[in-house]
């Protein structure tokens, strides 16, 4: 029987681009996993993962049958085999080959974009003065994205129509383009916008806004502006209830932490559940079902 229980080891939501890819490969395709956070502010990541088989990086997926998968591309392939119904790869052979090629190039390329513009989902810079090498990476992105769009098998907003593993791999790139206000053409900008509006991406970013400290080595001395994604619905944390819900929408446990939205009070089991919801209420279906 295929493993359906997973533990996913990830780095900080705001900063770990590879962890975002691994998390999307699970959650964007209707699967689930227990998250284990490997905070970047603590000791070396490899030391923190010393007990996880031979894994030394995030993300790492641990299956209940003992398999340990510690590279994002390998996670994509293994989950596609274990869950063929999930649609991780396109079913059309040409589209699937294109998606695999896109994923491989993303995994090994675009070093200037990675190095100059590390993912940092808590801020948006209005002028990052991109280097010629970064501009060349952006031009290459537009080229391969355009080629993928010409082969799409449906009219969806994603590279090949429907969301695939290739899109999960380019989600952090969308975060970089948005977060550094990088120049991109009309079609590329529409693809970035699709990522920023995607509820699963919004959930990851909401967690990144409230979990863990700011890491100064990711900070850049550029002028800042507002995040270009959807404006979150206004909500605030409050100290006391009572709440109109008698169970946390995520854990089902009795509320101990509270927020207000539209003059109504809602309760959650712990501060993280509350704060991630305050950050972007409409990103969380389990919460919105109670509204």
DSSP string, 153-200: SSSSSBTBBB--HHHHHHHHHHHHHHHTT----HHHHHHHHHHHH-HH
DSSP 8-state symbol, 224: B
pLDDT score, position 6 = 96
User: What pTM was computed for the model?
Assistant: 0.96
173 shares a domain with 100? yes
Residue 59 · residue 68 · CB < 8 Å: no
53 shares a domain with 81? yes
CATH code: domain of residue 59: 3.40.30.10
pLDDT score, position 249 = 97
Is residue 219 in some structural domain?
Answer: no
200 shares a domain with 129? yes
129 shares a domain with 188? yes
188 shares a domain with 97? yes
240 shares a domain with 187? no
Task: List CB contacts of 236: < 8 A, sequence separation 6 or more.
Answer: 259, 260, 261, 278
Is residue 188 in some structural domain?
Answer: yes
pLDDT score, position 67 = 95
Residues of the chain falling short of pLDDT 50: 1
- The backbone torsions φ and ψ at residue 37, rounded to the nearest 5 degrees and listed phi first, read -85, 130
Question: Residue 216, SS3?
Answer: helix
Last residue of a domain, one of 51, 86, 121: 86
* Residue 110: burial class (beta carbons within 10 Å; 0-12, 13-18, 19+): buried
252 shares a domain with 169? no
**Which range marks the domain in which residue 270 is found?**
236-288
Is residue 216 in some structural domain?
Answer: no
């Amino acid at each position: 029987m295929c493993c359906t229980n997973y533990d996913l080891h990830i780095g900080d939501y705001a900063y770990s681009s590879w962890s975002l890819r691994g998390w999307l490969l699970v959650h964007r395709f209707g699967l689930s996993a227990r998250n284990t956070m490997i905070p970047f502010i603590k000791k070396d990541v490899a030391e923190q993962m010393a007990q996880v088989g031979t894994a030394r990086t995030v993300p790492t997926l641990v299956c209940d049958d003992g398999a340990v998968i510690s590279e994002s591309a390998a996670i994509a392939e293994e989950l596609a085999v274990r869950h063929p119904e999930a649609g991780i790869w396109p079913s059309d052979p040409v589209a699937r080959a294109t998606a695999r090629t896109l994923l491989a190039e993303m995994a090994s390329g675009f070093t200037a974009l990675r190095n100059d513009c590390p993912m940092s989902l808590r801020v948006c810079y209005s002028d990052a003065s991109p280097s010629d090498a970064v501009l060349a990476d952006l031009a290459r992105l537009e080229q391969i994205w355009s080629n993928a769009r010409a082969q799409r098998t449906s009219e969806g907003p994603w590279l090949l129509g429907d969301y695939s593993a290739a899109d999960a791999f380019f989600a952090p790139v969308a975060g970089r383009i948005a977060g550094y206000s990088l120049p991109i053409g009309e079609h590329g900008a529409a693809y970035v916008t699709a990522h920023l509006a995607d509820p699963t991406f919004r959930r990851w970013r909401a967690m990144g806004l409230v979990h863990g400290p700011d890491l100064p080595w990711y900070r850049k001395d550029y002028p800042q502006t507002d995040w270009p994604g959807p404006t979150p619905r206004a909500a605030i944390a409050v100290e006391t209830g009572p709440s109109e819900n008698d169970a946390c929408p995520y854990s089902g446990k009795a509320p101990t932490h509270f927020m207000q939205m539209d003059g109504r009070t809602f309760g959650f089991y712990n501060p993280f559940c509350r704060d991630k919801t305050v950050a972007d209420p409409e990103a969380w279906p389990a919460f919105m079902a109670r509204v």
